[in-house]
Amino acid sequence: MHIQDIFKAHATTFSFEFFPPKTPEASEKLFKTIAQLEALRPTFVDVTYGAGGGTRDLTNELVLRIRSETKLDAIPHLTCVCHSEPEIDAVIEQWASKGVSNILALSGDVPREKGDWDRKQDAFRYAADLVRHIVKFNARGRHPDKRGFGIGVAGFPEGHPATPNRLLELDHLKAKVDAGADYIVTQLFFDNHDFYDFRERCDLAGIKVPILAGLMPIASEKGMRRMAELAAGSRFPAALLRSIQRCGGDEEAVKRVGIHWATEQCRALLDHKVRGLHFYTLNQSDATRQIYLNLGIARG
Ligand code: FAD
């Protein structure tokens, strides 16, 4: 369903993000997770693109498998790093022909194995350029929906490391929306004040599209360190760190703390009329299911 129709039908969206597994075993495991999470009736699910490099075709495979084996509406991500224009066109042509309704358009980061890849080689340098290209594709009328693809983009409540100038960063976000993005999904954050402030700053900048809050419950201390690496710039509030320290290395206790913290974040976000909750599931179902139960919104 086109994202504009999704927003018309749902005052609050609930979405889950998966990454494409690299082995058949991991894929079967993911489909068990997806079956468990489908019972929660998410509004849609996302599939990441080439995160960590080398998994680009797998995104396509996973999106098509979700579409054929479940009732879930799958939104693929697309990054422009290390892609030529014909390559991008081949991907979006294929998704259009399969009736994929929406794309989350991203710049992406240079994968580690590409070393010092010069981004001048990319057909599209910034996500805004990719949004403009998808809008052009939409105008050609080659998508079964006459509006073409719905388009999402990323937002960073705590700022993006490449743009320390926070005013300029908001200009860049606005450029993506002005180019034709229908909605924003945020990077994960642990302090809701960062999200509320971001939402207000967007409003002041004239960014009026729905903003979905990205959440990732901490599952382990090791996982938290990895998160800090991947979502560079993320702030881990002292109160959260203290709660984790009190667990004294007990991994089950850390998991419970992570779920409790994320539940409280979600509860407050819902009270503050968030337009959507977007869960980075890491292909696991436990934490998301537990949060749903804690919130009293479990529908399965
Ligand atoms: P952009 O909007 O292009 O911004 C990147 C940086 O460039 C920002 O600092 C911005 O301020 C700056 N900038 C923008 N325009 C200009 C300009 N005209 N001049 C100068 N500077 C400019 N990565 C993946 O590889 N695969 C995924 O599936 C994926 N999914 C993600 C989903 C979400 C919700 C989020 C938040 C991130 C995701 N990422 C993914 C990571 C993302 O690709 C990186 O964080 C990347 O560094 C930023 O992408 P972007 O689309 O926001 O880039």
pLDDT digits (tens, 9 = 90+) for 66-121: 999 999 999 999 999 999 999 999 999 999 999 999 999 999 988 888 888 899 99
- The answer, yes or no, to whether residue 51 has pLDDT greater than 70, is no
The answer to whether 93 and 140 are in contact (CB under 8 A) is no
CA-to-CA distance for 91 and 86, rounded, in angstroms? 9
Q: Look at residue 300 in the predicted model and tell me its pLDDT.
A: 46
Distance from Cα 187 to the centre of ligand 1, integer Å:
10
pLDDT band, very low/low/confident/very high, at 230 (cuts 50, 70, 90):
confident
Q: What is the mean pLDDT of the chain?
A: 95
Q: Would you name the residues annotated as active-site residues?
A: 17
Angle ∠(152,155,158) on CA atoms, nearest 5:
165
Closest Cα to atom 33 of ligand 1: 154
Q: Is 187 in the pocket of ligand 1 (CB under 6 A)?
A: yes
- CA 195, distance to chain mean position in Å, is 15
Q: Is 278 in the pocket of ligand 1 (CB under 6 A)?
A: no
CATH hierarchy code of domain 3-295? 3.20.20.220
Distance from Cα 68 to the centre of ligand 1, integer Å:
30
Distance from Cα 127 to the centre of ligand 1, integer Å:
6
Of 107, 117, 211, the residue with max ligand 1 atoms within 8 A of its CB, to mutate for a pocket test, comes to 107
Q: Look at residue 115 in the predicted model and tell me its pLDDT.
A: 85
Q: Is 29 in the pocket of ligand 1 (CB under 6 A)?
A: no
CA-to-CA distance for 279 and 281, rounded, in angstroms? 6
Q: Is 154 helix (H, G, I), strand (E, B) or coil?
A: strand
Closest Cα to atom 51 of ligand 1: 106
Distance from Cα 108 to the centre of ligand 1, integer Å:
6
